[in-house]
């Protein structure tokens, strides 16, 4: 693990892992889509609309998991000041924002035929919307300063403070009287879903998770390269300055 935490080794190992992860994501997602459309039966209440759940629920899970990864990475940056922790946090933010947006939009498209409204100011929906704004805030704050070190630290602090939203999202359906249904998979008494719907959902969730890991790893590699480019640009400027200083000065 410590060896992997070295950016050069990370680039070597991730280059080998990435094609396998991408292939596994594609395979599992293809299987999940097949199960979602051809194996899972229509729900007795929701009818065919239940098929939206197979993309909505994994998106919502990943929206939260991704924020958790950002928070852990931010902790790693603030405590150990490890550059890869910052790379991980920075790379995960736009991906997390995308999955949160998907959770909101697909939930809204499910809500219209089921609840009769695209949006209600329900505790679960509102807390996920706040999570989306938090992601946007993290990305904006990182760009707010020219001092990259300061921007990284400020973003890390905001990310850690923002973790308060995660238990609020998870327990919003228990703490408040919400229109959103309570947890039906991750609950103490076990899932309440019938296996014919649970398995397609779990396969889709695995596919989405593999896809997230692929995208995160690829985005982390891009970020490492971006930092190398920045270092080389600084080195080029320093070299140009040194060669100008070494040139003989014309006699006055």
Partner 1 sequence: MDLGPHAAFIWASYLVVVVVIGALIAWIVLDGRNQRRLLARLEAEGVRRRSAAHAERKAGDDQ
> Would you tell me which residues interact with partner 1 (CB under 8 A)?
8, 37, 42, 47-49, 51-52, 55-56, 59, 94-95, 98, 101-102, 105-106, 109-110, 112-113, 211, 215, 218-219, 221-222, 225-226, 228-229, 231-233, 235-236, 239
Which residue, among 88, 94, 73, has the nearest Cα to 156 in the 3D structure?
A: 73
At closest approach, how far in Å is the CB of 221 from partner 1?
Answer: 7
Phi-psi map region of 190: left, alpha, beta (phi>0 left; psi -120 to 50 alpha): left
Do residues 78 and 157 touch, judged by C-beta distance below 8 A? yes
Q: Which is nearer to partner 1, 189 or 201 (CB)?
A: 201
Q: Which is nearer to partner 1, 55 or 156 (CB)?
A: 55
Task: Kindly give the interhelix angle for 53-80 and 165-175, rounded to the nearest 10 degrees.
Answer: 140
Beta bridge partners of 47: 43
Q: Which is nearer to partner 1, 101 or 158 (CB)?
A: 101
Q: Which is nearer to partner 1, 174 or 234 (CB)?
A: 234
Q: Which is nearer to partner 1, 79 or 238 (CB)?
A: 238
**Which structure tokens are listed for 190?**
């076990």
At closest approach, how far in Å is the CB of 209 from partner 1?
Answer: 13
Q: Which is nearer to partner 1, 64 or 215 (CB)?
A: 215
At closest approach, how far in Å is the CB of 233 from partner 1?
Answer: 7
């Amino acid at each position: 693990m410590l060896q992997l935490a070295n950016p050069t080794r990370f680039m070597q190992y991730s280059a080998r892992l990435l094609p396998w992860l991408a292939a596994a994501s594609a395979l599992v997602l293809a299987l999940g889509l097949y199960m979602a459309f051809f194996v899972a039966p229509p729900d007795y209440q929701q009818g065919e609309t239940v098929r939206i759940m197979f993309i909505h629920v994994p998106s919502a899970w990943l929206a939260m998991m991704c924020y958790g990864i950002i928070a852990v990475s931010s902790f790693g940056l603030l405590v150990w000041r490890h550059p890869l922790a910052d790379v991980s946090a920075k790379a995960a933010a736009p991906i997390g924002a995308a999955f949160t947006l998907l959770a909101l939009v697909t939930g809204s498209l499910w809500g219209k035929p089921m609840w009769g409204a695209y949006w209600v100011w329900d505790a679960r929906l509102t807390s996920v919307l706040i999570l989306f704004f938090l992601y946007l805030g993290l990305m904006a704050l990182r760009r707010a300063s020219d001092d990259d070190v300061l921007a990284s630290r400020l973003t890390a602090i905001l990310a850690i403070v923002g973790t308060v939203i995660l238990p609020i999202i998870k327990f919003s359906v228990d703490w408040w009287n919400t229109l959103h249904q309570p947890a039906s998979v991750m609950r103490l008494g076990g899932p309440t879903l019938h296996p014919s719907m649970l398995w397609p959902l779990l396969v889709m969730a695995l596919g989405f998770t593999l896809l997230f890991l692929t995208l995160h790893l690829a985005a982390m590699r891009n970020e490492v390269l971006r930092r190398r480019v920045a270092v080389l640009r600084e080195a080029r400027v320093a070299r140009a300055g040194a060669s100008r200083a070494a040139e003989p000065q014309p006699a006055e």
